[in-house]
């Protein structure tokens, strides 16, 4: 039998919740966490519902009263003022005083005798008096006596329904028999960059003098340019010593030529492993200088965490127990049969010595945290155990909650989602291959408007050093602008593999979605100022993102209808709708496309009977529009997209309204 069967309120749901509370939701510092509860009692009694929340580790709940919405749903919120984890749940109880007061009012309005009802209220006031300060307690007791005076019904009724009593009683709620929801839900509070960030990826070795291996000092020289383009994260592929054994040559060739630098992801040589620097890039002092210089320019350096080894990595000899050995006495290299990756040895997470392995890998992260790094792009996390990541991220966050991990898991949907659930702060997505209107609409709805948005923060990348999608191969410069605008305005976080994107590099091996002459296997010389480079467009897009808070969130996206399958229209607004941006993108990089967009005027608070101004922030063009449907025409060879801000009233020299 139940401990207290008199407990009459049920709480059926508190949310948001992920997988029945198994995983936390994610929010950024400064965000308000809106909470919904479904709560109700048997019968007609009124209830009150409190939102309980506390910082993880604190003993005491803070309670905030929730508001009744509709259909037994209650809403409340609390602010995320500190990094780390908060817990939240709800508690509800029958409000005897409010029930009594409401019944009394109804009876009075129906002209019924309320003498008995007033007397019934007296003990409720006396009980509240027991927990009130002396002065208030005295007033409550006086009123209780008044309620019991059969000859003073009218003044008693005035007190009973009056504001003064209501306010005093609200201070002394009787929460006996309260029900607390059976789950404590968690929210991870990250810093805002977890939600809103613009990443630029480059290989520092490609920024030296012609023919030479570039260094951190060389690469430092282009930091002002990258910062001027408006990026705030500079992501470097692995910067560790590169193995010699089975080193890949240009274009992933199995035969290596003298001077071929090898893939930075083949980590480790006699010169060191994951805690060492590739000597040709420079010293730790150079690296520190690079990171500081970037920080001064507003660029945070993100490193790559690729937990794998070249055959020359010191781990192989120092910790043979962390590898899988084959019957011929060699270490098992990475395979996805029939493909072989002989330059990469995976770590064996099924080793009997997994605990030591986990600790060592954590020490790698700690090492780079000590070097000032707070963002890690994690290479192929889906080929290492989920439990390892959950542990690692929790451990790191405990001391250093500002650290962010981006999951590079281009894998199956449920695996990708699970990695986000176990803790990754950002995730690569399928955006890279979503090109048509239907695909983009479906995908952004899934990411932004379902539960997925509670735990998976997308990062949209039009390209990476590994991936040159067909759309970019065949669409020319307009395709790059289209994908840039989509990535940067659909998702609050996005990134580009920078130089190749800026220069619209589009050459791939026949039938593949990879770069020909990939920078992974050779040192490039980039002329970022070449004719046709996208610098000015990128700079403009990033500036628009910074100046329009509506673009600094992903989950606020709304799709608007437009009657052309080549045109995609979506909008974003801040919660108070003070900033609204409307994006219209021509997905066809070849042809001019036109159509009629339909705007939800009421939601946008636009008067259907007056003209308004649509100001294109990309081109600075302005369009005078009126009403729900408006004409769009986008020539991809001029500019394939609009990013519009709506100005609701046209400014006029003379205010004609006076005469209308």
Give the HSE-up count for residue 303: Cα atoms under 13 Å, Cβ half-sphere.
Answer: 25
The pair of three-digit structure tokens given for residue 323, joined into one six-digit string: 């590898």
> Helices (DSSP H) in 548-607: which residue ranges?
601-604
From 407, 409, 412, select the one nearest 424 (Cα to Cα): 407
Q: Which residues pair with 634 in a beta bridge?
A: 593
H/E segment holding residue 572: strand 567-573
Q: Is-contact 376 303, C-beta < 8 A?
A: yes
From 199, 198, 141, select the one nearest 172 (Cα to Cα): 141
Nearer to a second copy, 355 or 609 (CB): 355
Give the active site residue among 379, 454, 519, 588: 379
Active-site annotation holds for 109: no
Nearer to a second copy, 260 or 342 (CB): 342
Strands 185-190 vs 84-94: parallel, antiparallel or unpaired = antiparallel
Q: Is-contact 462 480, C-beta < 8 A?
A: yes
- The rounded distance, in Å, linking the Cα atoms of 468 and 513 is 5
Q: What minimum distance in Å lies between the beta carbon of 222 and a second copy?
A: 37
Give the active site residue among 304, 343, 360, 408: 408
- Could you tell me the CA-to-CA distances from 521 to 6, 203, 313, 515 in Å, in that order? 72, 11, 19, 11
From 113, 194, 200, select the one nearest 150 (Cα to Cα): 113
Q: What minimum distance in Å lies between the beta carbon of 280 and a second copy?
A: 32
Nearer to a second copy, 210 or 329 (CB): 329
Sequence length of the chain is 660
Active-site annotation holds for 408: yes
Q: What minimum distance in Å lies between the beta carbon of 107 and a second copy?
A: 5
Q: What minimum distance in Å lies between the beta carbon of 268 and a second copy?
A: 21
Q: What minimum distance in Å lies between the beta carbon of 72 and a second copy?
A: 4
Q: What minimum distance in Å lies between the beta carbon of 450 and a second copy?
A: 14
Q: Which residues pair with 91 in a beta bridge?
A: 50, 180
Per-residue HEC secondary structure of 98-142 comes to: HHHHHHHHHHHHCCCCCHHHHHHHHHHHHHHHCCCCHHHHHHHHH
Q: Which residues bind a second copy (CB under 8 A)?
A: 1-2, 5-8, 10, 12-13, 17, 19-22, 38, 40, 42-44, 71-72, 102-103, 106-107, 109-110, 112, 116, 119-120, 122, 148, 177, 182-183, 326-328, 335-338, 349-351, 354-355, 358, 382-388, 391, 412-415, 417-418, 421
H/E segment holding residue 388: helix 386-399
Q: What minimum distance in Å lies between the beta carbon of 165 and a second copy?
A: 19
- The rounded distance, in Å, linking the Cα atoms of 19 and 452 is 11
Active site residues: 379, 408
């Amino acid at each position: 039998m139940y401990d207290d069967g008199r407990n009459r309120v049920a709480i059926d749901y508190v949310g948001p919740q992920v997988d029945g509370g198994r995983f936390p939701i994610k929010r950024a510092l400064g965000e308000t966490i809106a909470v919904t509860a479904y709560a109700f009692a048997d019968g007609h009694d009124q209830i009150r519902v409190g939102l309980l929340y506390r910082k993880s580790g604190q003993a005491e709940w803070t309670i905030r009263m929730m508001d009744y919405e509709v259909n037994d749903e209650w809403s409340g919120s609390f602010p995320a003022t500190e990094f780390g984890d908060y817990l939240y749940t709800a508690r509800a109880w029958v409000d005897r005083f409010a029930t009594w007061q409401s019944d009394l009012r109804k009876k009075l309005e129906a002209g019924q005798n309320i003498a008995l009802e007033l007397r019934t209220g007296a003990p409720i006031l006396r009980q509240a008096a027991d927990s009130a300060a002396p002065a208030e307690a005295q007033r409550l007791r006086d009123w209780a006596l008044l309620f019991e005076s059969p000859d003073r019904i009218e003044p008693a009724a005035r007190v009973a329904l009056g504001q003064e009593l209501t306010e005093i009683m609200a201070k002394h709620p009787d929460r006996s028999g309260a029900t607390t929801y059976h789950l404590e839900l968690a929210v991870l509070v990250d810093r805002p960059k977890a939600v809103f960030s613009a990443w630029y990826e480059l290989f520092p070795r490609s920024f030296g003098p012609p023919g030479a291996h570039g260094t951190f000092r060389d690469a430092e020289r282009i930091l002002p340019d990258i910062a001027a383009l408006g990026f705030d994260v500079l992501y470097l592929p692995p910067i560790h010593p590169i193995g010699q054994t089975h080193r890949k040559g240009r274009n992933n060739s199995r035969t290596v030529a003298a001077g071929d630098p090898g893939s930075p992801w083949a980590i480790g040589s006699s010169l060191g492993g994951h805690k060492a620097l590739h000597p040709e890039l420079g010293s730790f002092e150079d690296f520190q200088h690079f990171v500081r210089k970037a920080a001064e320019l507003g660029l945070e350096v993100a490193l790559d965490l690729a937990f794998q080894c070249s055959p020359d990595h010191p781990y192989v000899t120092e910790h043979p127990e962390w590898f899988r050995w084959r019957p011929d006495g060699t270490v098992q290299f990475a395979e996805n049969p029939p493909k072989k990756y002989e330059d990469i040895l995976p770590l064996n997470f099924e080793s009997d010595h997994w605990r030591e392995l986990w600790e060592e890998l954590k020490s790698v992260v700690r090492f780079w945290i000590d070097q000032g790094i707070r963002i890690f792009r994690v290479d192929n996390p889906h080929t290492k155990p989920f439990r390892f990541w959950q542990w690692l991220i929790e451990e790191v966050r405990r001391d250093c909650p500002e650290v962010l991990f981006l999951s590079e898991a281009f894998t199956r949907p449920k695996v990708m989602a699970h990695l986000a659930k176990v803790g990754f702060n950002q995730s690569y997505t399928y955006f890279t291959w979503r090109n048509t209107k239907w695909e983009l609409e479906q995908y952004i709805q899934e990411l932004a408007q379902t539960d997925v948005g509670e735990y998976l923060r997308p990062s949209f990348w039009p390209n990476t050093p590994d991936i040159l999608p067909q759309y970019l191969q065949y669409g020319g410069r307009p395709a790059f602008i289209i994908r840039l605008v989509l990535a940067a305005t659909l998702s609050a976080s996005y990134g580009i593999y920078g130089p190749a994107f800026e220069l619209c590099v589009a050459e791939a091996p026949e039938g593949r979605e990879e770069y020909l002459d990939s920078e992974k296997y050779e040192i490039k010389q980039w002329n970022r100022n070449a004719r046709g480079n996208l610098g000015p467009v990128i700079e403009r897009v990033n500036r628009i993102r910074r100046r329009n808070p509506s673009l600094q969130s992903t989950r606020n996206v709304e799709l608007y209808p437009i009657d052309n399958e080549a045109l995609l229209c979506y909008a974003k607004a801040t919660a108070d709708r003070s900033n609204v941006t409307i994006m219209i993108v021509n997905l066809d990089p070849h042809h001019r496309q036109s159509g009629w967009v339909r705007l939800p005027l009421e939601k946008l608070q636009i008067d259907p009977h007056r003209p308004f101004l649509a100001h294109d922030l990309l081109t600075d063009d302005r369009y005078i529009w009126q009403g729900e449907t408006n004409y769009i025409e986008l020539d991809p060879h001029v500019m394939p997209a609009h990013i519009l801000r709506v100005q609701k009233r046209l400014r006029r020299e003379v205010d004609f309204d006076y005469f209308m």
